[in-house]
């Protein structure tokens, strides 16, 4: 990380990257929420006593299903990338590409099956979540988390904002702020 000279002291301080700033901001937001005493709702028993009990319970179910979806999708993407690295697709269409596509389908389609199944299960839960009205920040946090699935943003990748567009980054920051305010959850 490059250092930035500070003229007043004659010293140099590390330059702050946008990623480091956002991570620090998210952690600070989570600390403020934790200090303010907002309850963290992470179990079904805690959720049952909450005004948005059904929504929070669906959020817990969503989180578990979404984790499975991400895992299966990551495995399928790895299989796809491995196949394409070993055997790049022809640049021209026609019979050569059709043969490549047939081989790709045989080799990789089975890896996408679990991802598709988990996607359908997550979609069913997100439909239920969308149908309910949120009345608390915890309920809004559940709805915000589903945006990651609806918009294919994973949010908790090791470096989620490295290559994202500004709209993606803004959405992720919004979701994290709602999560922090609604239940103390933060992915930063």
Q: Could you read off the pLDDT of 46-59 as tens digits, one per residue?
A: 556 778 899 999 99
Which is more confidently placed, 12 or 53? 53
Which residues make Cβ contacts (< 8 Å) with residue 28, sequence separation at least 6? none
Question: What is the pLDDT averaged over residues 129-155?
Answer: 81
Residue 171 is predicted with a pLDDT of 76
Q: Are 183 and 99 in contact (CB under 8 A)?
A: no
Confidence band of 36 (pLDDT split at 50, 70, 90): very low
3-state secondary structure of 159: coil
Residue 128 is predicted with a pLDDT of 95
Dist. CA 115–CA 106, nearest whole Å: 16
Q: Which residue has the tokens 């690295």?
A: 85
Strands (E), the chain: 3-6, 11-14
Q: Which residues pair with 5 in a beta bridge?
A: 12
Q: Are 54 and 132 in contact (CB under 8 A)?
A: yes
Nearest to residue 32, comparing CAs of 180, 142, 148? 180
């Amino acid at each position: 990380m490059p250092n930035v000279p500070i003229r007043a002291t004659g010293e140099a301080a590390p330059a702050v990257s946008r990623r480091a700033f956002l991570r620090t901001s998210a952690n600070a937001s989570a600390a403020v929420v934790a200090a303010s005493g907002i309850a963290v709702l992470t179990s079904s028993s805690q959720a049952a006593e909450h005004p948005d009990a059904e929504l929070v319970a669906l959020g817990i179910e969503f989180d578990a299903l979404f984790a499975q979806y991400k895992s299966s999708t990551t495995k399928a993407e790895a299989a796809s990338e491995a196949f394409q690295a070993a055997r790049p697709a022809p640049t021209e269409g026609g019979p050569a590409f059709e043969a490549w596509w047939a081989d790709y389908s045989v080799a990789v389609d089975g890896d996408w099956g679990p991802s598709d199944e988990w996607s359908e299960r997550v979609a069913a839960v997100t439909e239920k979540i969308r149908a309910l009205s949120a009345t608390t920040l915890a309920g809004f946090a559940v709805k915000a988390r589903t945006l990651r699935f609806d918009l294919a943003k994973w949010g908790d990748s090791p470096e989620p904002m490295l290559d994202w567009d500004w709209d993606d980054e803004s959405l992720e920051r919004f979701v994290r702020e709602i999560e922090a305010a609604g239940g103390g959850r933060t992915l930063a």
